[in-house]
Structure 1
């Protein structure tokens, strides 16, 4: 029995917001009331006769336990309800001429002479993006079949707050961040300017080292796992600036110590000072729909296990839409080796991003941005030379698996172009290492993170001025 039901991922949603800003499109949010009850079952399911249900007159003299009820529609609580609802909605939209693709199965697009409409589905929430006339047709078509609430312009969706202004859209989670701070008793803590301390080169003094023999594991009274889960949600949605620190602290979830809990509180104190920070998609940026990638590796970022860190970020119009910070699963033998592994992961993400963007823009009849190679910035000269030349069985590279030279094939096919930049300009540094305050804030600004328009004692102390969208 199939129970899987796709939902829209946050990367696609961020790209659609960027598209709405650059093409000056409308955004509307619709909510289906009791969505799961519309699903049509593909298997026979029986349930006990519910209390209050009147049996046929011929059966009233027999025990109720002898009878069962066959379901004709899905109910809340069934494992396959989500899938049945998706199939029902998909069938209804495809019948009207909407198209979708397996690369992004929750994005339905219809193009007409008057414009186009994009329906982005997350269970029972539907974000409609497109031209005014076609959006109204889509709303009317959906209301014809389903009972829906029209929530107007998209301002709050999937826990994300969306602020519209004349210069673009700011996507943030200030309400959620404040709830997290209050939940862990950090809502009145003194704010900090970075999410983690600069790590010591001496592994015995590293505050992020594993539990020592003389240290105690935190008890269940310390909500370490809950804090990690709350911070991971922030890091994956709107706060790439805490990705590396949260990834580092999440490694010790099975045996956390007070040192690691102090690291959690350090991240929370940083959030305390940047509660209203989010991703700002500007309508004034040049090359608004061109994606640019940055890849980097932190060699021996985990010296205790001899593992390095992979980090990459892709920006669209100067603001991040996709990022990742993760520990490498292989032991890299050199910094060049670790950079090749990081570039391989970034290339895979780039191929998927290009596919999604090409599908959306071509179906909407918008000018293509994937006709030219996507720029992928890297700061390691030896790595770039090897990727350009392809796999060579030499003394220094024979141990590296040929599959990690996939980037070379993508360069040959003109899908990506690896370009060398200075280390100080590599935005992916944010995802591979702890950085001093000035460097950290410069890179945070570089990936499009800005703060809302408000005056706070913290911002006045640190910046000495009101912040519009700083």
Structure 2
């Protein structure tokens, strides 16, 4: 069948001589931008505006079309889960308001789309040229009391193999952390669970 170039909306570029594989979704991003009429928009430098704190809808809030909002967030969740870990935190934030979105929430979604406009060709590049190809490198962080609605923190982790991410997640913590240190420990607990699973997975792959 030849080399793999496209699979379930993901573009694949392979360079076996250089020992590199790139995966990305520029075609999918372009389709998303066109669907929401932002194909000619001015790109944003970041997926989240500095200092932005999204709040739940109140009686005075101007509500937005729920179906349209959920459609956009669903597409962004798919994208962030496959090849775009750089938008995962931003998408996780806007996904919390799918049941009753407001105009303000939609502005935050459009900010992510505008960021994608300027980074449409971003993807993940894996390389086997590194002598530490099998080493799993992980990062963990927490946004203490970042949710302005209930003051719960957000955990985030990312694990890399062969120079690019293989697992990442942004997750709202279930408890209210009383300090930055506590929020960081909770985030580390989530990351530890993930790395334990990844190590077993890679061990099984090597044994096959």
One fold, TM greater than 0.5?
yes
Partner residue, 1:213: 59
Displacement of 1:304: 2.1
Aligned residue for 2:197?
Answer: 352
Unpaired runs of 5+ in structure 1? 1-150, 201-205, 364-470
Write the mapping of 1:55-454 to structure 2, written as runs, cut at 5 A: 151-165=1-15, 166-167=17-18, 168-199=20-51, 206=53, 208-220=54-66, 223-363=68-208
SS in 2 for 1:361: helix
Q: CA RMSD in A?
A: 1.4
Q: Are residues 341 and 272 of structure 1, via their aligned partners in 2, closer, same or farther at CA, if it must alter by over 3 Å?
A: same
Report the 3-state secondary structure (helix = DSSP H, G, I; strand = E; otherwise coil) of the residue aligned with 2:65. Answer: coil
Tell me, yes or no, if the aligned pair for 1:286 and 1:317 is still in contact at 8 Å.
Answer: no
Q: For the residues of structure 1 that align with 2:151 and 2:117, how far apart are their CA atoms?
A: 34
Superimposed CA distance per residue, residues 352-393 of structure 1 (whole angstroms, 9 cap, x where no aligned partner) = 101110011122xxxxxxxxxxxxxxxxxxxxxxxxxxxxxx
Residues 280 and 319 in structure 1, CA contact (< 8 A), matched pair in contact too? yes
Higher radius of gyration, 1 or 2: 1
How many angstroms does 1:194 deviate by?
Answer: 0.8
Residue 301 of structure 1: how far off its partner (Å): 1.1
CA distance in 1, matches of 2:161, 2:150: 35
**Could you tell me the TM-score, scaled by structure 1's length?**
0.43
Moved more, 209-218 or 286-295: 209-218
CA distance in 2, matches of 1:285, 1:262: 42
Cα distance in structure 2, aligned partners of 1:362 and 1:289: 13
Alpha carbons 2:126, 2:164 under 8 Å: kept? yes
Q: Which runs of 5+ in 2 are unaligned?
A: none
The SS at the match of 1:297 is strand
Tell me the secondary structure at the aligned position of residue 306 of structure 1: coil
| TM-score (structure 2 length as normaliser) | 0.94
Number of residues of Structure 1 aligned to a counterpart in Structure 2: 206
